[in-house]
Amino acid sequence: MISSSKNHLRNAVTRFSIRNRIISYPRFKEALELITRLHMRSLNTDHHGGLLITGLSGAGKSTIRNEYEGRYPRRDLGEITVIPVLTVDTPAGPTVKNLAESILVALGDPMSHQGSAEHKTHRIYYFLKLCKVELLLIDEFQHFVEHAKRNETLRVTDWLKNLINQARIPVVLFGLPNSEEILRLNVQLARRFSARYYLRPFSIYDEQEVREYRGVLKVIENALPLTTVSLSSPVMAKRFYFATYGLIDYIGKIVDGAVLLALLENSPTIKEKHYADAFKEEVWRDVAEKLNPFSNNSKLRPLVKVGEPFERMTDSLVMKTHNDVLKEQAGL
């Protein structure tokens, strides 16, 4: 018979997810502060600026967006809904018409799918004012360069520039690093988004960044529902770094996976093997043991070669350091 205390622990572990918790750290707070300044400046002056926040997939952009939106929840006043912060996902293959429709859907327009691009644009102005929108957050901005033809990209970015000018509200764009290419195509839009912030991955190659990174791992360790090998120790911090490319979302995936595996084994402690198995399940299914960063037999190195999980990552500063590590290990 299982005691009530054991049942309580099991239920707590089952419900646990570190990815559902806000882990605050300097660069996370910096990004939120920049959004806050943009927002407050618009409310207190006649300046309606723009901000571009870029980062690799898994760097925490969506968490920042959701956190800021959550600070200003929608208020249903019966006939209208006040939306202080409006979030919109850029559609794949953006056009003026489907981007306008995405904005109308986010505004709750029941006729968002009807009408021409021009008609949709007029409805956007109407609903932005009616819903008292103070700030617009547009995610997945890289879709402009990844899925749209050049002429269409120019057309949509011109439309977006005019929308921002006419709506007179500040806008924050979120996207992958290649979002910068879009602004290079439209000089006027680039001026609007001259303020930019890169949400870089954690690093183990700079003393100050190592302290920040290990501090985050310590916070995660303290939040776990089971005891664990120390995540913030120099050895485990290094293992986590190479297992995640320093990206917070991958850290969360591995930790959540390890917690679940420990639970399934009825283990009171999360062991290194749980992290190794979680890496295999959550990050790289076909990883060889010698390349699994949590394996005792692993020769720790950046997993950026062809066929490895982070081969497509394009953080130039990190890649330069990673290449130095690979050369050192190769004896070059």
Task: Give the pLDDT mean for 7-16.
Answer: 64
Please state which of the ranges 9-18, 65-74, 256-265, 298-307 shows the lowest mean pLDDT: 9-18
For the chain, give every domain's residue range. Answer: 26-198, 203-330
Task: Give the pLDDT mean for 163-188.
Answer: 93
Q: Please give the full DSSP string across 103-164, using - where no structure is assigned.
A: HHHHHT-TTTTSS-HHHHHHHHHHHHHHTT--EEEEE-TTHHHHSS-HHHHHHHHHHHHHHH
pLDDT in tens, 101-147: 999 999 999 999 999 999 999 999 999 999 999 999 999 999 988 76
pTM, entire model:
0.89
Q: Widest CA span of the chain, in angstroms?
A: 70
Which residues, in sequence order, are CB contacts of 263 under 8 Å at separation 6+?
10, 13, 14, 226
Nearest partner of 134 among 258, 63, 48, judged by Cα: 48
Task: Give the pLDDT mean for 61-73.
Answer: 97
Which residues, in sequence order, are CB contacts of 77 under 8 Å at separation 6+?
none
Q: Which CATH architecture has domain 26-198?
A: 3-Layer(aba) Sandwich (3.40)
